[in-house]
Amino acid sequence: MCFLVAIWAFWNTISLLSPTPEGSIFFLRVADVFALFVAPVFLHFSMSFSGQLQPKLLRISYGATSLLALTVPTSLFLKGGQYKFGIWFEDGGPAFVLFILQFAGLAIYGNYLLYKASLKAAGSRRAQLLCLFVACVLGFGGGFMWFLPALGIDIPPLGAHLIALYCVVVMYAIVRYQFLDIQVVIRRSLVYSLLITLLTVGYFGLVYGIERGLQVTFGYRSAWVSLTAFALMALAFQPLKIVIQRVVDRLIFGVSQEQLAQRMERLEEQARQTEKLRAVSTLAAGMAHEIKNPLTALRTFGEYLPEKHNDPEFVQKFQDILNKETHRIQAIVQDVLDFAKPRAPRMKPVNLGTLLHSTTNLLSGDLLKRNIECRVDCGQSPSADDSVADHVLHADPDQLRQVLINLIQNAADAMPNGGKLSIATQQVNSHLELTVSDTGHGIPKELLSKIFDPFVTTKSDGNGLGLAMVHSIIRAHGGTIRASSELSHGTTFTVVLPL
């Protein structure tokens, strides 16, 4: 947006300097091509910055603007020029009127989005949005006045000077509120470039002056002496540069770079602690929910035990329930412990093909009972010699086996009436991609983005920790896992691991 405004202003200036009316009108047409796109680009920026993106409206605004741009060379856009207030202005046609409406409408709506977002924001974010809103109201209000003479409204475009205020307010937001978080760009490009240039010029001027003075005083002409003098003065100049850098950091950022780095470290540590507390909260809530059901069953049978302790059938049933529910509680607690404190991977070379075939052989009996056809395609034959295998990972074989078992069992559970299970691996650049696909009932769309969260499950008897542990293991191996699913058609899990 700023680039378009600058180019628009540049060609307007060229039109003012043109010695002929024809030249002025030609350069005004060029300027208007860039001015046409200022409003839609501003709307795009406003939507992005305020988090209110509307792709359909953006496509319409860009498309309509492109069509208007095609009319710029014709009389539909400009009939010619009119001389007012000592300069040439456009004599607008019907398309120019549409341009004015487009400019005003999109600018107003973009500013409305910024103002609406500022009402919901807080702190420096609110200040950023308000500064931007004020700046753009000034800039677009001033720029709009440039079009009034072209519409036959004889008001001098003095408001165009407000565009300068737009620049001032945005610059204030950049420095004061780290607007767009580009303080690093400023520090490394503008301020430091100017300082380094000035310091370099001053340094060479000073060194040259001192060198000439020493030559005149002592009368030497040795190149080695001159180089030694340059080196000594450079060493003396370095501390001065560091002092100036720290002064600039304090003026712009309020703190030194060391303090800024320490502050960022503290904020990151706070964020990590917050994430840990959130995870613990989720685990605690999930454990309470999962353990409540078996405890309810145990309490119910316990209440009847004094009355029916002589009933053999009741005692046997109570014993079965007691064993089943205590094992269930133990399994839940163990799963939570495994998730909360996962064992660090013990890395070594692993042939994924060999591991995959041995795991599917281990589970083949269960898959056969469930009438599930399993097809494995590793792109290689399993080899007992890991050193010659094609797909060798640096990984923990036990943890990878746990991942495979979990994914295969989940696929089997999704096909209670039988189906097809497909497992395949392929090398993609420096990574290995493993896919596990089933033809089961699928995962609802609203749950798909949450299935790796603790205690999220589609199973009536599941605890929702299996995929959370799988995600944790894959992440510890430097990989990623994602899922895609379609109801009644099946689910595919894709694991990507570095080779």
Determine the pLDDT at residue 241. 67
What predicted TM-score, i.e. pTM, was given to this entire model? 0.40
Q: How does the average pLDDT of the chain come out, rounded?
A: 77
Asked if the model's pLDDT at residue 422 lies above 80, the reply is yes
Determine the pLDDT at residue 182. 52
Determine the pLDDT at residue 268. 63
Q: Mean pLDDT, to the nearest integer, of 317-324?
A: 82
Of 242 and 51, which is predicted with more confidence?
51
- Say what the alpha-carbon torsion angle 207, 208, 214, 219 is, to the nearest 10 degrees: 150
Determine the pLDDT at residue 337. 65
Q: Mean pLDDT, to the nearest integer, of 258-272?
A: 67
Asked if the model's pLDDT at residue 282 lies above 60, the reply is no
Of 143 and 370, which is predicted with more confidence?
370
- Confidence class for position 229, pLDDT limits 50, 70, 90: low
- Confidence class for position 254, pLDDT limits 50, 70, 90: low
Determine the pLDDT at residue 386. 40
263-340 folds as: Helix Hairpins (1.10.287)
Q: Mean pLDDT, to the nearest integer, of 243-258?
A: 65
Of 454 and 307, which is predicted with more confidence?
307
Of 61 and 451, which is predicted with more confidence?
61
Asked if the model's pLDDT at residue 480 lies above 50, the reply is yes
Determine the pLDDT at residue 387. 35
Of 480 and 247, which is predicted with more confidence?
480
* Closest to 332 measured CA to CA, from 139, 177, 195, 468: 468
Lowest mean pLDDT among 30-44, 115-129, 268-282: 268-282
Read off the pLDDT of residues 12-31 as tens digits, 9 standing for 90 and up: 888 878 778 788 888 888 88
Asked if the model's pLDDT at residue 219 lies above 80, the reply is no
Asked if the model's pLDDT at residue 353 lies above 80, the reply is yes
Of 313 and 239, which is predicted with more confidence?
313
Lowest mean pLDDT among 48-62, 214-228, 270-284: 270-284
Using CA atoms, how far residue 266 sits from 80, 176, 259, 271, 469, in Å, is 63, 22, 11, 9, 29
- Counting residues of the chain whose pLDDT is more than 90, the rounded percentage is 11
In the chain, what are the domain boundaries? 2-181, 185-254, 263-340, 348-498
Asked if the model's pLDDT at residue 228 lies above 90, the reply is no
Q: Mean pLDDT, to the nearest integer, of 282-302?
A: 72
Q: Mean pLDDT, to the nearest integer, of 257-277?
A: 65
- Confidence class for position 385, pLDDT limits 50, 70, 90: very low
Determine the pLDDT at residue 180. 57
Q: Mean pLDDT, to the nearest integer, of 198-223?
A: 69
How far apart CA 100 and CA 1 sit, in angstroms, is 17
Of 449 and 233, which is predicted with more confidence?
449
Determine the pLDDT at residue 109. 93
Determine the pLDDT at residue 106. 92
Of 342 and 304, which is predicted with more confidence?
304
Which of 254-258, 374-378, 380-384, 387-391 is predicted most confidently?
A: 374-378
Class of CATH domain 348-498 = alpha beta
